[in-house]
Amino acid sequence: MNALIGKSERRVDGRDKVTGRAQYAGDFHLPGQLHGVIVNATIGLGRIRSIDASAVETMPGVVAVISHLNAPRLAYKPHKTFIDPAVGERLHVLQDDRIHFYGQPVAVVVARSLDQAERAARALNIRYDRRQPKVDLRDPSLPVVLPEAMGEEADKSRGDLEQAVPGAVTVDERYEIARENHTPIELHATLAAWTGDRLTLWSKSQFVVNEQAEIAAIFGIDPANVQVISPYVGGAFGTTLRTWPHVTLAALAARMTGQPVKLTLSRKQTFYTTGHRPFTTQRVRLGATPDGRLTHVEHEGTGETSRYEQFAEALVSATSYLYSCPNLRVRYRLQPCDTSTPTYMRGPGEASGIFAIECAMDELAYKLEMDPVELRRLNEPKLDEGSGLPFSSRSLLQCHDVGARSFGWARRSPVPGSMKDGRLLVGWGMASGTYPVWFAPASARARITPAGEFEVEAAASDMGPGTYTSITQVAAEALGVPMSAVKFRLGRSDFPPTPPHGGSMTMASVGSGVRAACQALRAELLALAASSAASPFAGASPGDLHWDAGALMRRGASERLGYARLAALGPPGLMATATGGRSEEAGKYSMHAFGAVFVEVAIDPDVYTMHVRRMVGAYGAGRIVNPRLATSQCIGGMVGGIGMAVMESTVLDKRDGRPVNAHMADYLVPVNLDIGDIQVHFIDEEDPYVNPLGVKGLGEISLVGVAPAIANAIYHATGKRVRHLPIRIENLLHGA
């Protein structure tokens, strides 16, 4: 038996990535391709009065200027896909003269070269009738609505919040989190080509089968006539879980010009309509007995959405199960405003909601004069008090233990400002994190080639966590062959369908599907070897056969049947297809990953520059398929948490809704100098219920909890409690 799951195998795609052989969406080229450049609205609300394309149409290289004036009316069929993160009516691009938000695409200029298209796009003269958009979420005239799709889930309660507790210690605070954009290194890009009525899209996507379905619905064509190809994704964090308007525009431009069209968003354009983490406001009320037992938890959250769609996330969902508390109420609302629709961004909902809860817990710990780790320990629940179900596994206390020990938490002096390093203020803070274990059936196929290689395929995506590698491990282990004998391919909509590459469920879902397909192929091959007249093992029982070092062997015999010879016994390309499932027992459990983050910040007391010197993350996330990749993924999530805590904020101009810092000079993300030492620990966790592989996922949990740990560390260093993200130098200076 070769146990590959659990081994720190190297990335199978590492060489291709560092040599540039790996092709991202923008790297694909077709002969005769044209270049499309989107023209974006420069008002935040209103109508297009006129578009004068005449001067632009005669500019060098220009092939077409496409706007609502000449674009065909598209079908925009309503459709049900696997996951649609928003309800409402998606933006119908170039279908009428209405402007819903700043930066909405209003035209596409297509030219022979990118340079010509950019120049012409800049010159296009568009006049507008402008109205005043509402984009300031603090504006009291904005409506507040119940998220339709959530219904009662948006209001949950248990116990009696009015119940008085003698001597209760309370916290009642408001928290705010800025709008954030995903800003992956790789820009969104689509190359679209029609052959007759068949469309091929080379497009950055975390969900190729959904992009196929959506584009087919938009154009009113059979999904079988749309092929989406996305072998590599250079970071995404949720921004390509949906199909945004630029994909439609690339396909539309290609159809209208009769040539392949490549369309790449500029960095600035990625701030307009590729989704964003919604601005949120929250209120948290906590009550505890003087000895630290929670008696009341009230958590209200409101997130922004667009006027044409409701985007809802899990802002208050974790509150009901994170700690034990008899009396609890959560409430979630949306605020529609004149902006594009937000979407999932790493740790969607939980990262924001848990920021508020975990900062409030820290405030409570100070009021109780209790260690924050101890406060959490005291409120550890025996079961999920939200659903009433037992946890399939829950290692939050072990995460606290392992994290605290590794960090050296016992040496912390609790008084704010009491820990110093020379003239620098040192702050130590911590927070818990949690994220659900999602699962959805994924299909996969596995075949043996005449050369005796194993090919495994699933639609899937790999936005960087190492899916190519970890799934190859799963496949090789299930087949019983070395990793070098397996080639795993993903990122094509004509491969067996898989759920979105998001919600931390790729290994759980795609891994389970691949495992099932490989087990089925292995069983077929063993049966073939035991039954085929041409097989040296004819007549053997399949149970007596096993793989060993590149060949099939019979127990107690020395004869070897190589993979190529084995393949020759069956029909060419012998293949097995399967869909992964999980045990029905799963429904009887509450299934979540847990984590704890410990942070040290150093702050200059004169100018309040901050440095996150070190972080320790401890995670109970089920089985870890590849510790090296898992550690790397967690480091990435924790770095993202630094961005959320002290840097990232998309600022809108209240006059017109323009994102004013739509570029990497002013939209700050952590760079190497911002990162100190990061340590990652995994708790040994065996969870037989979550899925056949026993994995819980890591993408989101690694970010959840980082921002509150940093905010709590900043308080510990300075005695200043900043209740909004990002926390900037000026917040500490002004609070002085």
Please report whether residue 491 would count as binding ligand MOS according to CB under 6 A: no
Give the interface segment with ligand MOS, choosing from 32-40, 288-296, 343-351, 403-411 (CB under 6 A): 343-351
With beta carbons less than 8 A apart as the criterion, state whether 660 and 651 touch: yes
Please report whether residue 435 would count as binding ligand MOS according to CB under 6 A: no
Please report whether residue 311 would count as binding ligand MOS according to CB under 6 A: no
Q: Within a 10 A sphere around the Cβ of 7, how many other Cβ atoms?
A: 14
In b/e form, how buried is each residue of 272-291, taking b as 16+ CB within 10 angstroms?
Answer: bbbbbbbbbbbbbbbbbeee
**Alpha-carbon gap, residue 683 to 706, rounded angstroms:** 18
DSSP state of 323: S
Kindly tell me which residue out of 85, 348, 466, 705 binds ligand MOS, with binding defined by CB under 6 A.
Answer: 348
Residue 48 β-bridge partners: 128
Which CB atom, from 315 or from 574, has the smaller least distance to ligand MOS? 315
Q: Could you tell me the smallest distance in angstroms from the CB atom of residue 703 to ligand MOS? A: 9
Burial level of 319, CB count in 10 A (0-12/13-18/19+)? Answer: buried
Please report whether residue 354 would count as binding ligand MOS according to CB under 6 A: no
**Alpha-carbon gap, residue 712 to 363, rounded angstroms:** 9
| Binding flags for ligand MOS, 501-530, as an x/- string (CB under 6 A) | -xx---------------------------
Exposure on the CB side of residue 37, measured as CA atoms within 13 A: 23
**If residue 631 lies in a helix (H) or strand (E), which one and from where to where?**
helix 627-646
Residue 380 a catalytic site member = no
- Find where tokens 């994995």 sit: 695
Please report whether residue 346 would count as binding ligand MOS according to CB under 6 A: yes
**Alpha-carbon gap, residue 340 to 562, rounded angstroms:** 57
Which CB atom, from 100 or from 501, has the smaller least distance to ligand MOS? 501
Give the interface segment with ligand MOS, choosing from 7-15, 126-134, 344-352, 508-516 (CB under 6 A): 344-352
Residue 538 Cα distances to 531, 550, 558, 560, 564, angstroms: 5, 19, 15, 13, 17
Site residues (CB under 6 A) for ligand MOS, limited to 25-44: none
With beta carbons less than 8 A apart as the criterion, state whether 245 and 308 touch: no
Q: Could you tell me the smallest distance in angstroms from the CB atom of residue 266 to ligand MOS? A: 22
Please report whether residue 241 would count as binding ligand MOS according to CB under 6 A: yes
Count of positions on this chain that bind ligand MOS (CB under 6 A): 10
Give the interface segment with ligand MOS, choosing from 190-198, 235-243, 412-420, 592-600 (CB under 6 A): 235-243
Which CB atom, from 372 or from 465, has the smaller least distance to ligand MOS? 465
Which CB atom, from 36 or from 275, has the smaller least distance to ligand MOS? 275
Which CB atom, from 116 or from 467, has the smaller least distance to ligand MOS? 467
Interaxial angle between packed helices 208-219 and 245-257, expressed in degrees from 0 to 180 and rounded to the nearest 10? 50
Furthest C-alpha separation in the chain: 86
- Find where tokens 């929670």 sit: 294
Q: Could you tell me the smallest distance in angstroms from the CB atom of residue 274 to ligand MOS? A: 12
**Alpha-carbon gap, residue 153 to 157, rounded angstroms:** 10
Q: Could you tell me the smallest distance in angstroms from the CB atom of residue 380 to ligand MOS? A: 27
Q: Could you tell me the smallest distance in angstroms from the CB atom of residue 435 to ligand MOS? A: 10
Which residues have CB under 8 Å from 729's CB, separation 6+? 607, 608, 609, 610
- What are phi and psi for residue 697, nearest 5 degrees? 95, 150
| Binding flags for ligand MOS, 170-209, as an x/- string (CB under 6 A) | ------------------------------------x---
Of 680, 670, 678, 677, residue with least CA distance to 595: 680
Please report whether residue 237 would count as binding ligand MOS according to CB under 6 A: yes
Q: Could you tell me the smallest distance in angstroms from the CB atom of residue 238 to ligand MOS? A: 3
Catalytic one of 350, 380, 700, 730:
700
- Number of residues in the chain: 736
Please report whether residue 238 would count as binding ligand MOS according to CB under 6 A: yes
DSSP state of 528: H
Please report whether residue 427 would count as binding ligand MOS according to CB under 6 A: no
Give the interface segment with ligand MOS, choosing from 63-71, 109-117, 119-127, 237-245 (CB under 6 A): 237-245
**Alpha-carbon gap, residue 540 to 536, rounded angstroms:** 9
Give the interface segment with ligand MOS, choosing from 60-68, 340-348, 509-517, 625-633 (CB under 6 A): 340-348
DSSP state of 232: B
Residue 722 Cα distances to 179, 252, 430, 615, 727, angstroms: 17, 47, 15, 20, 7
Which CB atom, from 645 or from 704, has the smaller least distance to ligand MOS? 704
Give one word for 178, left, alpha or beta, with left for phi > 0 and alpha for psi -120 to 50.
Answer: beta
Give the interface segment with ligand MOS, choosing from 226-234, 296-304, 342-350, 381-389 (CB under 6 A): 342-350
| Binding flags for ligand MOS, 616-635, as an x/- string (CB under 6 A) | --------------------
Which residues have CB under 8 Å from 415's CB, separation 6+? none
Give the interface segment with ligand MOS, choosing from 236-244, 375-383, 554-562, 715-723 (CB under 6 A): 236-244
Kindly tell me which residue out of 202, 207, 344, 355 binds ligand MOS, with binding defined by CB under 6 A.
Answer: 344
Kindly tell me which residue out of 345, 375, 399, 440 binds ligand MOS, with binding defined by CB under 6 A.
Answer: 345
Amino acid at 650: T
What residues act catalytically? 700
> Which residues lie near ligand MOS (CB under 6 A)?
206, 237-238, 241, 344-346, 348, 502-503
